[in-house]
Homo-oligomer: A and B are copies of this chain.
C-alpha cells in the first residue's frame, strides 16, 4: 500500500467527520466513489451511510450482508437505522431485526411500522420522560444520573403513569425556575403534539412555523411513541423544496449527481419519450395546415415564436402556483381570484408582445396581414397559457397526480397545440 493511499485512508477514517466523508462520496464519480468506500472501515460505514442520498445509500446497502449491516449501524439513532433498513429487501430486513437485541429491535420495529414519509417514520425513540408530580429539583438530580442527554433535546417530555403525553418541560425553563415547585406547575401543556401518521411535509411546516427544535410523537390513543427533531426536519424541508425543481425536469430529488452512464440514460430516456408524444401531437397539428404553409412559408419561420411565448408565460404561472400550493397559500377560496388575475396578466402581456411581434413580422416579411395574424395568435396563446398554468396544477392535485411532475408536459402540450392551431388556423382563414 503506497504512502498516499494510506494517508487518504487515515484521513477518511480518523480525520473527517462522517458528514464530510459522505459529501466526498457524493461528489465523486462511480469508480473513485467505490475506491473511497472500500477504504472506509466497517464500523464507520453506518455513520457515513446515514448522510448519503437515497440513490447512493441503496448501492452500498445492497452490497452488505446482515452482519455487515449490524456492525456498520451499531450506535446509530433508531430513526436512522430504520431509514437505512427501508432500502433493503424484506428478507434482509427480517434477518437484521432477528440479530438485534430485544430493546433495539422493538424500537426499530416501532419506527418501521410507519411509512417513511410520516412523523412515525421520521421519529426517534430516544426520549427522556418525566412525571408531572415530581419537583424540578428531583428532575435535575434524575438528569445528573445520565451519562449524556440525546442530541437535540431541548425539552423533557412529561407523561402519565400509562406513558400518555401530558406536556413538555423545556430545559431552559427547568434552569430558570424555582427547584422546589413541581413539573406540573411549569410544564407547557399547549405544546405542539404530532400524531404518528402525520405526513412529513406537514411536520416540517409545523416546525418551520413555530420554530420547534423537537416535538413529541403520539399514537391514536395519546401514548408517547418518540420525538421528531429539527435535524431530520431540515432534511425533509430540503427534499420537499428540491422536489418541485427536480420533478419539473422529470427527475427524482434523490438523484445522484454522478450516477453512472447506463442508469442515467435509462431514467432520462423515459422522460424524453413522454415529451416526444407532446412534440408529435404538435407536429400533427402543424400537419393539418401543410397546404397553408406551402403557400406562405413565412408561417413556418414565425410559428415557433407563438408556441414558445405561450410556453414561457404558462410555465411562469405554473411555477408560481406549484410553489404557492407547496407553501399552502392556495385554497378553494382564492383560486378564483388567482385564475382571474392570470387571465388579465395574460391579456396585458399578450397585447404588449403581440404588438411587438406583429411589428417585427410586418417589417420582416412586408405583410400587414401576417402581423395581424401572429399578433392575434399570441394574445390567444398567452391567455390560454396562463389560465392553463394556473388551473392545471389544481386539477392535477385534485386527480392526485403530482403537479410538479406532470404539469410542465401537459402545459407544453396545451401551449404548442393552441399556439400552432391559432396561428396556422387564422392564416388558413385569411390566406386560403
Contacts and interface: CB of A to CB of B under 8 A. Distances in A.
B316 A353 contact: no
Q: In the complex, which of the residues A172, A246, A304 has the most CB atoms of chain B within 10 Å of its own CB atom?
A: A304
A100 interface: no
Contact of A276 (B154, B245, B262, B356): B356
B316 A261 contact: no
B261 A348 contact: yes
Contacts of A210: 17, 19
Contacts of A338: 29, 257-258
B315 A146 contact: no
Nearest to A147: B176
B334 A261 contact: no
A171 interface: yes
Interface stretch (A59-67, A110-118, A248-256): A248-256
B208 A234 contact: yes
Interface stretch (A101-109, A283-291, A391-399): A283-291
A134 B85 CA distance: 46
A81 to B, nearest CB: 17
Interface string A262-296: 10110011011101101110110011001001100
Nearest to A304: B282
A47 interface: no
A119 to B, nearest CB: 17
A176 B152 contact: no
Interface in A200-249: 207-211, 213, 230-231, 234-235, 237-238, 241-242, 244-246, 248-249
Interface residues of A, number: 115
A263 B324 CA distance: 17
A357 interface: yes
A157 interface: no
Contacts of A401: none
Given A255-B320, A279-B304, A272 B152 contact: no
B307 A304 contact: yes
A79 interface: no
Stoichiometry, as copies per complex, reads 2
A305 interface: yes
Contacts of A426: none
Contact of A264 (B176, B249, B279, B341): B341
Contacts of A209: 17, 19-20, 23
Contacts of A27: 328-331, 334
Contacts of A429: none
A213 B230 CA distance: 8
A344 interface: yes
B245 A319 contact: yes
Contact of A265 (B176, B211, B300, B348): B348
B234 A146 contact: no
Given A23-B328, A251-B316, A319-B245, A357 B144 contact: no
A65 to B, nearest CB: 30
Given A28-B334, A154-B213, A315 B140 contact: no
Interface of A: 17, 19-20, 23, 26-29, 140, 143-144, 146-149, 151-154, 171-177, 207-211, 213, 230-231, 234-235, 237-238, 241-242, 244-246, 248-251, 255, 257-258, 260-262, 264-265, 268-269, 271-273, 275-276, 278-280, 282-283, 286-287, 290, 293-294, 297-305, 307-309, 312-313, 315-316, 318-321, 323-324, 327-331, 334, 337-338, 341, 344-345, 348-349, 352-353, 356-357, 360, 364, 412, 416
Cβ-closest 8 pairs across A and B: A241-B241, A300-B300, A149-B172, A257-B324, A211-B231, A249-B319, A29-B337, A245-B245
Given A251-B320, A258-B338, 4 more contacts: A140-B175, A241-B242, A265-B349, A290-B298
30 contacts: A17-B209, A17-B210, A23-B209, A23-B328, A143-B176, A148-B172, A149-B175, A151-B211, A152-B154, A152-B213, A171-B171, A211-B231, A238-B241, A241-B242, A245-B323, A248-B248, A251-B316, A258-B338, A264-B345, A265-B349, A268-B316, A269-B352, A276-B356, A276-B357, A282-B305, A282-B308, A286-B301, A287-B301, A300-B300, A304-B416
